[in-house]
Structure 1
Amino acid sequence: MIVRIMGEGQAKLADSHIAELNKLDDELLAEMETGDEEGFRRTLGALLDAVRRLGEPLPDDSLEPSELILPSPDATLEEVRAMLSDDGLIPG
């Protein structure tokens, strides 16, 4: 799976890591629903860090289509809320 972090670039992530990302996505969704700004910041950072840690960065000149687009680290709760589907940021 190709994942883009807005403002940073893309990474190739093995499907075996999706469960870990989904767990963080579920936490993020719950924090957004309750308006927990501190928890939202912490979990968004953890989600993006997991992609950076587990993914293999693609070259900057690579033009691969992204299967998943994640917000930038400084995105607001409102900006992320606008990106959400019923499943959160990560489908499934």
Structure 2
Amino acid sequence: MIVRIMGEGQLEVAESHLAGLDKLDDELLAEMESGDGPGFRRTLHELLDQVRAYGTPLPEDLLEPSELILPAPDATLEEVRALLGDDGLIPGP
């Protein structure tokens, strides 16, 4: 699966990692709903760190359609809300 982190680029992430990423996405959604700003920031960074750790960066000159688009690390709570789908940032399995 090709994942784009806004402002950073694209990474190829194996589907086998999606369940773990989805758990972090669920935490992020709960923190957003409760207005937990520090928790939101911590979980967003953890989610992006996991994507970077599991993913293989694609060359910058190769543009593939992204199946997931994640916010930049400095995105605000409001900016992330604008990206949310019915399942959060990462669709559940």
**1:9 is aligned with what amino acid?**
G
- Counterpart position of 2:78: 78
- Counterpart position of 2:47: 47
Q: Percent identity?
A: 77
Please provide the CA RMSD for this pair.
0.5
Matches within 5 A, 1:5-24: 5-24=5-24
Where structure 2 has 5 or more consecutive residues not aligned to the other structure, the ranges are none
**2:84 is aligned with what amino acid?**
L
**2:91 is aligned with what amino acid?**
P
- Counterpart position of 1:90: 90
Secondary structure of residue in 2 paired with 1:10 = strand
Find the aligned partners of 2:34 and 2:86 in 1 and give their Cα distance. Answer: 16
Find the aligned partners of 1:62 and 1:73 in 2 and give their Cα distance. Answer: 23
Find the aligned partners of 2:82 and 2:25 in 1 and give their Cα distance. Answer: 15
Question: Structure 1-normalised TM-score?
Answer: 0.98
Question: Structure 2-normalised TM-score?
Answer: 0.97
Q: Is it true that 1:36 corresponds to 2:39 in the alignment?
A: no
Find the aligned partners of 1:59 and 1:51 in 2 and give their Cα distance. Answer: 16
Find the aligned partners of 2:63 and 2:39 in 1 and give their Cα distance. Answer: 33
